[in-house]
Amino acid sequence: MQFTLSIGFCPTEWYLPLAVAAEEAGFDSIAVPDGLFYYETVSTPYPYSPDGSRFWSPETEFLDPFVVITAMAAVTKRIRFYPSVLKLAVREPLLVAKELSSCAVLSGGRVGLGAGLSPWPEDFEVLRQEWANRGPRSAEMIEIIRGLMAGGMFGYEGRFYSVPRMQIAPVPSQPVPIYLGGLAEPVLRRAARIADGYIGWENPQCPLDDVAGMVKRINGYREDYGRSSHAFEFKFMPSSNRPDVLARLRDAGVSDLIVMPWVEEAGLQAPLAARVDAVHRFAETQIPALRQERG
């Protein structure tokens, strides 16, 4: 059983002390959100809130995931990092490969890539990326990123991208794991086919009752693609950190629990001291029991 601390929705100067606290407390990983732009008006409701509204303001501080992960890696030694999730489909795959490779090398290989699509058509419009076929296009992006980060000359010819033979350096000594996030069935199939894991979160479209079935479907797709023997992580972030909820997710097949332990105690706007206290308290009271073998 693994445990990820989600760090975000806080002042920028809190990231580093929270990363240090997470490592000291025994967390395995840190996840950071990817918030690009806040549009005055959007063309579609936010799909992961009950009423479609955004629960953050234009002033909410979001740092670039690769930048903040590198900074947190510099003040830690063991803990791993990944974006949850990077809006991959609105970016250029060659630049993502270069940024991710640099981040992985500087961190000593302590980086994964959580990748998603972005729910906002506006992101695609302002960054001049195609909204249609964003899912299949992101699959090609992952092939390109993996190919470049493997080292040596690499070229690619696909439906959406054509890459002349090229090379980037440095590259990490070990492959960077890639996790896909999203709720549509094609995303689950894509995760089973090309990814090293899946990232989910509790929301109106994905209640806790659906998690066990989702895990089973992904495992079934992995069998269909002949990838059952390939290591695969099921990461999930519930809205409650109650012990019974977390144990239920563990028993449903979730292998990495993503938590913000201060939210239930002090709210999303909890001060830094309350967050650090909650991190250590969660590690002391819940991690040991949840890491025990399933009964």
111-144 pLDDT per residue, tens: 999 999 999 999 999 999 999 999 999 999 999 9
pLDDT, tens digit (0-9, with 9 covering 90-100), for 135-191 = 999 999 999 999 999 999 999 999 999 999 999 999 999 999 999 999 999 999 999
pTM summary value: 0.95
Q: Which residues, at least 6 apart from 113, have a Cβ–Cβ distance to it below 8 Å? A: 82, 83, 86, 88, 100, 145, 176, 177, 178, 179
CA torsion 88-14-197-261 (nearest 10°) is -140
Nearest Cα residue to 93 out of 62, 139, 131, 133: 139
On the question of pLDDT at 24 being above 50, the answer is yes
DSSP state of 59: T
Rounded to whole angstroms, the Cα distance separating 205 from 140 reads 27
- 206, 214 in Cβ contact below 8 A? yes
**Domain 2-290 maps to which CATH number in 1.20.140.10, 1.10.10.10, 3.40.50.2000, 3.20.20.30?**
3.20.20.30
Cα torsion angle, 3, 101, 85, 77, sign: positive
Where residue 295 falls among pLDDT bands split at 50, 70, 90?
very low
pLDDT, tens digit (0-9, with 9 covering 90-100), for 46-104 = 999 999 999 999 999 999 999 999 999 999 999 999 999 999 999 999 999 999 999 99
Rounded to whole angstroms, the Cα distance separating 243 from 286 reads 7
Beta bridge partners of 32: 83
